[in-house]
Amino acid sequence: MTEAPSTLDFWYDFASTYSYPAVERIGAAAQEAGVAVHWRPFLLGPIFARQGWTDTPFKLYPVKGRYMWRDLQRLCDSLGLPWRRPSRFPQNGLLAARIVLAGAGAAWCIPFTRQVYQANFVHDRDIADPETLAQILRALGQNADAILEQAQHPDVKVRLRTETEEAERSGIFGAPSFTIGAELFWGHDRMAQAIEWAARGARKLTCDSAA
């Protein structure tokens, strides 16, 4: 028996509405399938800009935006997830993304990510406000001042740019997205299929190694 190397890259943007249910559900779903998740915040803004969009398509195409809010409400209802339409949209998730990258995989990064999404899509808070993010870090027992300072370090800024460039090179054009090697899945609606794909790849590798 070989240890199965099944990892899924999970790409999310803190402004992205459909990333909220993904962030809330991916941990348990991936664990059940025996798939490890690499959480990778990035920025959709620069990718949208290169497609000629100066804003989220949900604002550029209001009919699509109206639908999205209703769809997300129904989706969260059906999943039993709390949900309130935020008064600000889209919010600026730059600082939150930098904080996660500054955390470099520390144990608080995932609960921090989930709580920032909850702040935005459940509690209608301003997630661009450093104080909102500092409160979340403090509640997680972290030194908020030190982390906020690290988050502004030039290395972290460069890191977020290179992560975003890698997302774009991977063919990513929306969030959430999931990649397993060169295989891309887009949207919360494809999360289960992406996890299954990762798990199946792992099983296949295990069988190949055993043969």
1 versus 169: smaller Cβ distance to a second copy: 169
59 versus 157: smaller Cβ distance to a second copy: 59
64 versus 161: smaller Cβ distance to a second copy: 64
Closest CA to 127 of 77, 92, 176, 167: 92
User: How far apart are alpha carbons 109 and 100 in whole angstroms?
Assistant: 6
CB 178 within 8 A of CB 53: no
Taking the complex as a whole, how short is the minimal distance between the CB of residue 146 and a second copy, in angstroms?
A: 39
1 versus 63: smaller Cβ distance to a second copy: 63
Taking the complex as a whole, how short is the minimal distance between the CB of residue 63 and a second copy, in angstroms?
A: 5
Taking the complex as a whole, how short is the minimal distance between the CB of residue 51 and a second copy, in angstroms?
A: 6
Taking the complex as a whole, how short is the minimal distance between the CB of residue 171 and a second copy, in angstroms?
A: 6
What is the end-to-end Cα distance of the chain in Å, rounded?
Answer: 10
Taking the complex as a whole, how short is the minimal distance between the CB of residue 177 and a second copy, in angstroms?
A: 9
| Residues at the contact surface with a second copy, assessed by CB under 8 A | 51, 61, 63-64, 66-67, 70-71, 74, 78, 171, 173, 184-187, 189-190, 193
Residue 180 burial (10 A CB sphere; 0-12, 13-18, 19+): buried
- The neighbouring-strand residues paired with 185 are 178
Return the percent helix, strand and coil in the chain, to nearest 5: 60, 10, 30
20 versus 186: smaller Cβ distance to a second copy: 186
